[in-house]
A = this chain, B = another copy of it.
Amino acid sequence: MTTARKYVYARKFEGFPKEGDLQLVEEKLPQLKDGEFLSKAVYLSVDPYMRAYAPSLKLGTTFIGGQVAVVTESKNITHPVGQYIVGNFGWRTHTISDNESELYVLPDFDKLPLSLGVGVLGMPGNTAYFGFLEICQPKPGETVVVTGAAGAVGSHVGQIAKIKGCTVIGIAGSDEKGKWLVDDLGFDHFINYKDDKFKEKLEQATPKGVDCYFDNVGGEISSIVISRMNLYGRVSVCGSISGYNDTEPAKATTIQRFLVGKQLKMEGFIVRRWTERWGEGILQNKQWIQEGKLKYSETVTEGFENMFQAFVDMLKGGNIGKAVVKV
């Protein structure tokens, strides 16, 4: 008999998630029925969206999230023992499933690390690939701004923009992140959003204005970026992490007059929208990695029991690249 460990959403987040909001509990799993299989988490993902979705989650349920898992027992011929899968099982170590809609078989990664299945070759990677290319439609020579630039998605978006021949400005919250973006990933400029002269620095870094903005943060920083945009600019709204931990809805300078004046298009998205093209995104990102055009970084936390801390650290901007938990 297998005992799973899992995190239960025990108390609504108020502001920053606190110790005790998620409860680590044990669950004895039953014997497998025909068609079912048991898998064991290998890498679990912590992502900003988890904080964003929390207000609509029911208390008492397993907290949401994806994982790379390996099949350890099976009564399902499609999922034999030893197979690696990516499952939306939530924060849990062991899972019994027979539901194809909550998982897919990990594609062939050649020799790339398995953890990329929740990173650059998984949901965050496809978020960058589809969310940026489909909504921003970047053209060579255009200027692209990315906020949350040192995160899993932002760092990936900026590199796609470079691949597409754009000038890329990354915005994040520490100069260490900025150094990584410029020196290692090839971003053209970095601006620390905590800089008192943020607005002036953005103006200096974007002498021809901004054509595409990939928005991970919302709030006043986004209003400032949008005020710099050119005619027919495109804004892809991926998230608004600046407000996720606010207890009151945040206010910022309204953006409508910029939308009208420059005839901007702004669109929010959830990556599920491109489920039917999932493989395309993974394949392209894998190819870019193999060609040396796309780099990634992971901030790995060891131990399932440290997952809550990894989540909070990520929300505070402690990670460079993708935050993952290794079991």
Report which A residues bind B (CB closer than 8 A): 52, 215, 218-219, 222, 237-240, 243, 249-270, 273
A218 and B256 contact, CB distance less than 8 A: yes
A268 and B273 contact, CB distance less than 8 A: no
Q: Could you say which of B218, B258, B262, B273 contacts A254, with CB atoms under 8 Å apart? A: B218
Query: Whole-angstrom distance between the alpha carbons of A277 and B44 in the complex?
Result: 54
A273 partner residues in chain B, CB cutoff 8 A: 263
A267 and B265 contact, CB distance less than 8 A: yes
A260 partner residues in chain B, CB cutoff 8 A: 52, 237-240, 268-270
A240 partner residues in chain B, CB cutoff 8 A: 254, 256-257, 260
B256 and A249 contact, CB distance less than 8 A: no
CB distance from A246 to the nearest CB of B (A): 10
Query: Whole-angstrom distance between the alpha carbons of A255 and B243 in the complex?
Result: 11
CB distance from A255 to the nearest CB of B (A): 8
11 residue pairs bridging A and B, Cβ less than 8 Å apart = A52-B260, A239-B256, A251-B252, A251-B253, A256-B268, A259-B267, A261-B268, A264-B267, A264-B268, A265-B267, A266-B267
Query: Whole-angstrom distance between the alpha carbons of A52 and B258 in the complex?
Result: 11
A263 partner residues in chain B, CB cutoff 8 A: 267-270, 273
Query: Whole-angstrom distance between the alpha carbons of A115 and B249 in the complex?
Result: 45
